[in-house]
Amino acid sequence: MTKDLGSRLDKIEAQLGVGTYVPGPWAALIRELKALPPDKRAAFARGVTRVSTKLHQRRHPRHLPFALGLLLEVVATVVGVRLLQKGLVDQSDWLVLAAAVVLLTTLQPLIKVTVGLLLGIRYSYFFLEGFEPRVKMKYGSYLVAAPWRRVVVHLAGTVGSPLALAWVYWEASDALPVASTLCLAALALLTAFQILVFVLGLTGARRFGSATVVRLSSAGASASELRERWRGIDTRT
């Protein structure tokens, strides 16, 4: 069985090399790999990371090295904090709202990456999904992780943006009612969206509009992992 899985992985990689790959075989292969015992799954980790990266770079050819991207995220977070401090001192709604925008885009990947690294997940590079910075996992390290670790990593990816909005709202609530009200409204909408995507993931819905549920939000990815667990995938992990 494992020999067949290895052949299929090689075939997908070869198809990617000549540009003939069509979606479907990769998802099916990953489902079967997840059902293997941990030691057998680990044997495929390097190849899975390599092929996953090639698949990902078809959609996102531009990226930054992980260390450089992480440094920029930290610097941007510091800038966001300084904007918040200056906005509060100057009583400027615009500066506070600018701080909220910066922090909600930087805290999310920083928190998710930190939790992932602590749980043994490794990362390849940063890239942009629209205007949102995201991080490409080394998918082999994700594949061999225990199911609960995968769920926790994705749940960590739902925390950063709401935390940023709640933080700015709390800081501005007394002095800047316009900025704080807008942050609270954004927090409510974002939380509702995360809950909706999580529920869709639990029900097995594959798409929401034009986007796939698991790519739309970390909430969808965590729900998908939970659903797979309940259906018996990874029962030997």
Give the position of tokens 């739902």: 158
Q: What confidence tens digit (pLDDT) does each residue in 100-114 have?
A: 999 999 999 999 999
pLDDT at res. 110: 95
Is 180 within 8 Å of 172 (Cβ atoms)? yes
Measure the CA–CA gap between 103 and 106, rounded to whole angstroms: 5
Does residue 154 carry a pLDDT above 50? yes
Give, in order, the Cα–Cα distances in Å from 184 to each of 85, 165, 172, 179. Answer: 19, 7, 11, 9
Angle between helices 160-172 and 93-118 (to 10 degrees): 140
For residue 169, give the nearest of 100, 81, 91 by alpha carbon. 100
Residue 207: enclosing H or E segment and its boundaries?
Answer: strand 207-208
> Of residues 215 and 89, which shows the higher confidence score?
89
Report the SS3 class of residue 176. Answer: coil
Distances, alpha carbon 56 to alpha carbons 14, 107, 111, 135, 224, in Å = 15, 23, 22, 11, 19
pLDDT tens per residue, range 36-77 = 888 888 999 999 999 999 999 988 888 999 999 999 999 999
Among positive and negative, which fits the CA dihedral 199, 195, 130, 123? negative
For residue 179, give the amino acid letter: A
- Specify the pairing of strand 123-129 against strand 64-65: antiparallel
- Whether 215 contacts 208, CB under 8 Å: no
Report yes or no: 128 and 134 within 8 Å, Cβ to Cβ: yes
User: pTM to 2 decimals?
Assistant: 0.86
Confidence band of 169 (pLDDT split at 50, 70, 90): very high
| Alpha carbon distances (Å) from 137 to 121, 134, 167 | 7, 10, 28
Lowest model confidence (mean pLDDT) among 54-58, 94-98, 107-111, 221-225: 221-225
Chain segment 105-152, per-residue pLDDT in tens: 999 999 999 999 999 999 999 998 877 889 999 999 999 998 889 999
Q: Across all residues in the chain, what is the average pLDDT?
A: 89
